[in-house]
Chain A
Amino acid sequence: MTDAVWSDQHTNPEAIASALRELLHDRHGNDGLVPERVLNMLAFVDREFSGEIVNRLSGVGRYHASRLILLAYEPRQQYLDAHVTVASDEARAPGEPALLHETVVIELGSAHMDDLLTIADPLVVTDLPTLLWSPHDHPEAVQALVPLTQEILVDSAADPVWRDALDHACLLSEQLYVVDLAWLRSTPWRERVAAAFQFPPRRDELETITSVTIRHHPDSTVSAMLLIGWLASRLGWKPSPLVAHAGRSPELSGKASSRRQDVVISLEAVPEQEVPGLAGLTLQTAAGRSLTLNRGPGGLAAHETTPRGGTHDWTILGASRGEGGILGEGIRQSLLRDPTYTPAVRAAQAMVP
């Protein structure tokens, strides 16, 4: 099947919306072509990187937004130029409908910044949730588009200054539901730590954790902060600012107060790790149990030392989702609600030195 396209220069939102309606009408006229109606995605990007963004979004597989409105910003752009594509999946099986998804790319400039809301508003499908993504850091555009959106996609790990990333996430979470890709990358770690303490006899040991060491890629401090923030917020630890040790290991250390005892916290950068993200985690309990999880082939390599000194090693299976998979998961998560992120990011912020 071929994609239906429309493009125009020096255009306006009404003409773009009209073109979209016509393209959809034409395609719907053919049997079995059904427009997806799940999610609007509003992306504000630098025009010079818009191709890269489109490529990233095309790599997310089935978790794509049903209507993508890409606002490609180039300060000197005087007029609105637009390109609309209504694409269909290949029919999955004889008789099954093919789905239509829509992409609207609008090139705009500084002259349009005050009118972003009125440019985007006619193009979002009414009554669908709208996810906002601004990967190239345009806070003014984000604030202009907030009234149209319910969710925002961020990647705290992409912020060059991790402290700023936490501040930014805290601020946004007061306005919108935040989906943080750095948080989603930590999901397998959070699942495994939760599972490790779910079943007797370990369940009772959750309150006896005495130390947590998180190992991470040197550029992924924020991921480690989010993970320790999650533990602190979920376990009711009172966080206090960590101490930074520039150029030494651990990079950050300190304590949090739990009901029973202090918890020693260490965040260690692991220069040997080639890929960004978390590298490992070690938890110790008052009874002498120690659980270590390390990134490994085919999943997480687990090592446990029991209170009696016995040791066990095993692999917790799981495939890496890759960056495309994480972005797709971020889009999917915008339809859900995780009540634990905001408390975690606030606890992390409270631990910033």
Chain B
Amino acid sequence: MTAPESARVAPDNPLVAGLERLPVQPTTLVIFGATGDLARRKLLPALYNLAHEGAMPERFHLIGVSRGDMEHEEFRKDCEHAIREFSRREPKDDVLTGLLSQVRYVAGTFEDQDVYASIQEVLEEFDAEAGQRLARAYYLSTAPMFFPVIVEALGKQGLALQDDVPVRVVIEKPFGTSLAEATELNRRVLAVFDEAQVFRIDHYLGKETVQNMLAFRFANGMFEPLWNRNFIDNVQITAAEDIGIGSRAGYYDQSGALRDLIQNHMLQLLCHVAMEPPVAFNAEEVRNEKVKVLRSIMHPSEAETAEMSARGQYTAGHVGAEDVPGYLQEDGVPATSTTETYAALRLEVDNWRWAGVPFYLRAGKRLARKITEIAVTLKPVPHLAFSQQGSLGVRPNQLVMTVQPNEGVSLQLGAKIPGTRMSIRPVNMEFNYGSSFLSQSPEAYERLIMDVMLGDPTLFTRNDEVEAQWGVCDPILSSWAASSGPLPTYESGSQGPLEAERLLLPGHRWRAI
């Protein structure tokens, strides 16, 4: 077993004080699925941008592993094309050349143990070249069916352990497709790696605005006293996309909206809204509090599922003044598919702070526009002395935290309309991220890859956390699977299926997407 993280990194290097970037241990990163879409679009550009900014460890090597048979040079060309196409900045040739010079390729199927022997050879070659053992990080950017296969093969080859330096494994989503699968996957992963070595990625947690939710709640005294069942009427969390499934039919049709977005990203957002203040901002304390929230969410009975969940599938329609096909007409989607492209839930966090406050979650594709937001609606004032005639009237205060695209926070207040009458209308007080910080947010993957190399799992999902997430979603998925009724539909470009309306408690309504 590797030594604890705290033992590896001396805490008192006096040269570190004042530096924005903490030193990163020299590392070899092994990407499984290195020629796949995620690697090309996100991982390789993120690595380049880290190198560009001088944020990489003093020594960094990359090994790409994939099925395709190719030479190192061919893979390097492939990496170069991906970086040039998808990097958020124009690559500088000398930095790119330097990065690519440290890249190797290992071809083979993930079930083939010889592949791992080849990986070991290259890892040891890099260690010898460096004159020291380099930290190792294995990034599983493959189809989920290969996660346990790769992990067990790494263990069998003796690659999961290393004296003196850390070995870590990064596992992409989806982490299972049900509670049983997630539990089994955890069991198999943790039979090889220690939990401290495992980084289950949810790229939403790498977004600055998601992290800012904790700063917003816990660094401002004005909100926390109101942040409970006494003052908050309901919470709505929306992740709407205007696009369809594109070329992801193979994945998406097996997944659906609930598994794709709600089980992971949206429950993370819910946790950020509902969690208690952690005693310290470190991995264990933050994740302890999130797990408490997930365990507080009431699991519905089968009968209750129908009242607190809704789903739908998009049909043809118009988005952005263009005609778009329905889900069943998308390339690669079976004509009889019953996969939901929209899912909505009403959840209750049954604890002292939140009992009785509904949390509405909805996610979908081909909706009216792209937006991810959290809207917290306060209870109305108990008595109103003002006439509401001739005005829009007083509405409950609403705090909206927008994750994308216009990152910021908006507070809806009531204000007097200029004139002789005391008429009130809602006005917005806006905090716009872009207008308040000089710095552009780095890509979530840059931050997360850096955290992996630093060994900081705060922004990654722990084993009990991922199981608690599935614990919330499992009864709903089971109920939907058992349902024999027709799948509701909604027109592309709309607000979603009408069925979602019945989730709302009296007096509540969905915010316009």
What residues of chain A have their CB less than 8 Å away from a CB belonging to chain B?
34-39, 62-64, 66, 92-93, 95-97, 99, 187-188, 190-200, 203, 206, 231, 234-236, 297-299, 302, 304, 306, 310, 312, 314-319, 331-332, 335-336, 338-341
Within the complex, the shortest CB–CB distance from B60 to chain A, in Å, comes to 7
Given contacts A194-B19, A316-B58, contact A203 B10 (CB under 8 A): yes
- Asked whether, in the complex, the Cβ of A36 is within 8 Å of the Cβ of B95, the reply is no
Residues of B within 8 A of A187 (CB): 19
Q: How far is the CA of A183 from the CA of B91 in the complex (A)?
A: 26
| Smallest Cβ-Cβ distance to B20: which chain A residue | A336
CA distance A340 to B18 in the complex (A): 6
Q: Hey, which chain B residues are within 8 Å of A97, CB to CB?
A: 406, 432, 434-435
Q: Are B14 and A234 in contact (CB under 8 A)?
A: yes
State whether B51 touches A318 (Cβ < 8 A). Answer: yes
Q: Is the CB of A195 within 8 A of B57?
A: yes
B382 to chain A, nearest CB (A): 34
Question: Chain A contacts of B129 at CB under 8 A?
Answer: 312
Residues A335 and B16 in contact in the complex (CB < 8 Å), given A195-B57, A199-B23, A318-B54:
no
Majority SS at the chain B contact face:
loop
Write the B37-63 contact mask toward A (1 if CB under 8 angstroms, else 0). 000000000000001111011111000
Q: Cβ of B14 and Cβ of A235 under 8 Å apart? A: yes
Interface positions of B (Cβ within 8 A of A): 8-10, 13-21, 23-26, 51-54, 56-60, 92, 94-95, 97-99, 101, 129-131, 164, 369, 405-406, 430, 432, 434-440
Closest to B18 in A: A340
Return the contact of B98 from the options A195, A299, A338 (Cβ within 8 A).
A299
B98 touches A317 (CB 8 A): yes
Contact present for A38 and B436 (CB under 8 Å): yes
Q: Are A299 and B54 in contact (CB under 8 A)?
A: yes
- What are some 12 contacts across the A-B interface (CB < 8 A)? A64-B438, A99-B432, A191-B23, A193-B15, A206-B13, A298-B98, A302-B58, A315-B98, A316-B59, A318-B54, A318-B56, A319-B94
Would A319 and B13 count as touching, CB distance under 8 A? no
Asked whether, in the complex, the Cβ of B369 is within 8 Å of the Cβ of A95, the reply is: yes
Residue of A nearest to B50 (CB): A317
Q: How far is the CA of A38 from the CA of B439 in the complex (A)?
A: 10
Closest B residue to A339 by beta carbon equals B18
- Are A331 and B438 within 8 A (Cβ)? yes
Q: Which of A99, A193, A314, A341 contacts B434 (CB 8 A)?
A: A99
Q: Are A317 and B99 CB-contacts (below 8 A) given A97-B406, A195-B24?
A: yes
Given A192-B58, A316-B58, check contact A96 B131 (CB 8 Å).
no
Residues of A within 8 A of B10 (CB): 198-200, 203
CB < 8 Å neighbour of A195 from B23, B99, B164: B23
B15/A194 in contact, CB under 8 A: yes
User: Once the chains are docked, how many angstroms separate the CA of A297 from the CA of B97?
Assistant: 10
Asked if B435 and A37 sit within 8 Å, CB to CB, the answer is yes
User: Nearest Cβ in chain A — how far from B89, in angstroms?
Assistant: 9
* Cα of A206 to Cα of B12 in the assembled complex, Å: 11
Q: Smallest distance from the beta carbon of A230 to chain B beta carbons, Å?
A: 8
Let me know if A96 and B406 touch, CB within 8 A: yes
- Return chain B residues, CB-CB under 8 Å to A317: 51-52, 54, 56, 60, 95, 98-99
Question: How long is the Cα–Cα vector from A298 to B97 in the complex, in angstroms?
Answer: 8
Beta-carbon contact of B8 and A199 below 8 Å: yes
Given contacts A188-B54, A299-B98, A317-B51, contact A62 B440 (CB under 8 A): yes
**A317 smallest CB distance to B (angstroms):** 4
A62 to B14, CA, bound (A): 32
Nearest Cβ on chain A to B54's Cβ, whole angstroms: 3
Q: A93-B405, A96-B406, A317-B98 are in contact. Are A199 and B54 (CB under 8 A)?
A: no
In angstroms, Cα B13 to Cα A37, docked, is 36
Question: Would B23 and A99 count as touching, CB distance under 8 A?
Answer: no
Chain B residues with CB under 8 A of A39: 438
Chain B residues, CB < 8 A from A332 = 438-439
| A234 vs B440: C-alpha distance when bound (angstroms) | 31
**Cα A214 to Cα B52 with chains together (Å):** 24
CB distance from B24 to the nearest CB of A (A): 7
Query: Shortest beta-carbon distance, A99 to chain B, in Å?
Result: 5
Q: How far is the CA of A235 from the CA of B131 in the complex (A)?
A: 26
Contact of A198 among B9, B99, B131 (CB under 8 A): B9
Set of chain B residues within 8 Å of A304, measured between Cβ atoms: 131
Q: Are A34 and B405 in contact (CB under 8 A)?
A: no
Chain A hits for B99, CB < 8 A: 317
A234 near B94 (CB under 8 angstroms)?
no
In the bound complex, CA of A297 to CA of B101 (Å): 13
Please give, as numbers and ranges, the residues of chain A lying within 8 Å of B52 by CB-CB distance.
317-319
CB distance from A331 to the nearest CB of B (A): 7
Contact A314 B15, beta carbon cutoff 8 Å: no
Of A34, A188, A312, the contact of B130 (CB 8 Å cutoff) = A312
